[in-house]
Amino acid sequence: MRIIGSLAALLTLTHLLAAHAGAEPATGLADSAALRATVYGTPPQDIAPLPAVVPLDEIDIALPWARPLPAVLWFDRRLRVWFSAQSKPAPLAIVISGTGDDGNTAKLALLRATLYGAGYHVLTLPSPTNPGFIAAASSTGVAGDLMQDSHDLYAAAHEIIAHLPARVRITDVDVLGYSLGGAQAAVLKSIDSVEHRLRIHRAVMINPPVSLFAAMNRLDELFAISVGPGEEGIDLLYRRLYVRLGNFYRANDQVRIEDTNLLAAAGAVLRTDADFSAAIALTFRIELTNMFYAGDLYAGTGVVTDPRRPPRPGDSTDEVVRRLLVKPFSEYFDQVFVPYYLAHRSGSTRTSLIAESRLDIIADALRTNPDYYAQTNADDLILDRAELDWLRSTLNGRIAVYDHGGHLGNLGDRQQIADMLDMLAGRWAEAGR
């Protein structure tokens, strides 16, 4: 089983490259520092104070509105979320993951620790774009619609909270999320202002996109620039990185790949801006393959799976992965997402669906309700200048914009956490910023 240990080490390496990239960055030529921060995240010595012990429960829940489960997603029958309970009555913080991520990422663990330390019960949820969520909690199976996905998330959160043991006493409910989860957190609150089932008090968006569609397209562009088109692009990137890793191990006499060497290995593999861009773009593309596959399967669009011959768990997926890796978000949008919503939402057009992927759908609430907050970075890869300005003016001062950090590259640092806790507690305005 030593074998699996080394494997886990390697998975950690990809996580190091992937989890830190996390989501949907990039405006073509982002600056070096932003790219590196996005990939590496906050250095451990800059992390906010953390509690010694955080209790943790794993919750699995079957949701009645889930679509019939395809055989190949047998392991995703129940939605899996994580919960940390205070022993006394306390406010609940619901935290939503970023694009493609599950409900227990390193970023979520960091937020959980700081929130628990500040006295919250903490519930962490996967992104509605995560295949586990799509299978177990999506009412459509086709992820990517800001409002619909948030409705599913809202219903799931309500169901989970209703099932919590009686000893958990909740005094207030706040919601936050990072990246795409940030935008969904705000939408969740706006849904709640109509439905009143969760009684959400405040919402904090951490590095949210303003336009989902635009952010995704920027990633496609980044992929095109840093990896190149088609299978050759991916093959060249693979060879480049393999050669570097191979030579690193040759030069260092390290005949076993273990945890301790991973940071050094990552440093040897990723060197130029193009490498960091490629790591970010590829990470996102890999998340997209999952979402694309699930959407295609549920909507029966037949792009990579034949709706008349549903795939079986024993089937090889080599060919499917090869084909999906070269497909950008735009193909998902035009071949799966748009056809599905045109058929299921009357009066929709491609243009209206793009418009509905913007935070504008809740602009009035963001503008007038003082309980919405945001944190972002001036060099966040998923925003352009106009979008950042839109956030500033719409939130009217209820936003902290840090100079550096790229996309989520400062998540968990002392300033970000202190501000986040101030916002959640309603102390932000009083702080006189």
Partner 1 sequence: MGRGWQVRVIRLAALPTVASASLLTGGCASHDFSIRSLPAETPAAYNAAAIKEFQAMQALGARPASAATQATVGPPLTPADVPSMQTYDPWERMNRFTYRFNARFDEAILRPAADQYRRLPNPVRTGIHNFFSNLSEIVSVVNYCAQLRPAPGVRGLGRFVINSTLGIGGLLDVATQLHIPGAPTGFGATLARWGMHPGPYFVMPILGPSTLRDGFGFLADFGTDYAINPVNLYRGTAGWVLTPLDGVDVRANISFRYYSTGSPFEYDTVRFLYVRRALIEDDALRMWHRSGKGAAQTPAGQ
Helix axes 414-425, 106-117, angle to 10 degrees: 60
Shorter beta-carbon distance to partner 1: residue 194 or 251: 251
Report helix, strand or coil for 378: coil
Q: Which two tokens stand for residue 336?
A: 């799966």
Report helix, strand or coil for 410: coil
Helix axes 2-21, 32-40, angle to 10 degrees: 140
Instruction: Give 153's strand partners.
Output: none
- Name residues whose C-beta falls within 8 Å of residue 197's C-beta, 6 or more positions apart in sequence: 154, 158
Q: What's the distance, Cα to Cα, between the start and end of the chain in Å?
A: 54
Strand order across the 90-96 sheet: 79-84, 121-125, 90-96, 170-178, 200-206, 372-377, 399-402
Shorter beta-carbon distance to partner 1: residue 33 or 61: 61
- What's the CA gap between 3 and 7, in Å, rounded? 6
Shorter beta-carbon distance to partner 1: residue 310 or 397: 310
What separation in angstroms does the CA of 204 have from each of 83, 183, 252?
19, 9, 45
Q: How far is the CB of 164 from partner 1 (least distance, A)?
A: 8
Q: How far is the CB of 60 from partner 1 (least distance, A)?
A: 5
Shorter beta-carbon distance to partner 1: residue 10 or 354: 10
Shorter beta-carbon distance to partner 1: residue 104 or 207: 104
Q: How far is the CB of 184 from partner 1 (least distance, A)?
A: 17
404 and 22 in contact (C-beta within 8 Å)?
no
Q: How far is the CB of 87 from partner 1 (least distance, A)?
A: 13
Q: How far is the CB of 94 from partner 1 (least distance, A)?
A: 16
Shorter beta-carbon distance to partner 1: residue 267 or 397: 267
Phi, psi (rounded to 5 degrees) for 64 = -65, -25
Shorter beta-carbon distance to partner 1: residue 52 or 194: 52
DSSP string, 243-265: HHHHHHHHHTT--S--GGGHHHH
- What's the CA gap between 46 and 411, in Å, rounded? 10
Q: How far is the CB of 370 from partner 1 (least distance, A)?
A: 31
Q: How far is the CB of 14 from partner 1 (least distance, A)?
A: 7
Shorter beta-carbon distance to partner 1: residue 245 or 342: 245
Burial (CB < 10 A; 0-12, 13-18, 19+), residue 261, is: middle
Q: How far is the CB of 44 from partner 1 (least distance, A)?
A: 4
Q: How far is the CB of 239 from partner 1 (least distance, A)?
A: 4
Shorter beta-carbon distance to partner 1: residue 312 or 385: 312
Q: How far is the CB of 245 from partner 1 (least distance, A)?
A: 6
277 and 31 in contact (C-beta within 8 Å)?
no
Shorter beta-carbon distance to partner 1: residue 31 or 46: 46
Which amino acid type is present at position 306?
Answer: D
- What's the CA gap between 142 and 337, in Å, rounded? 7
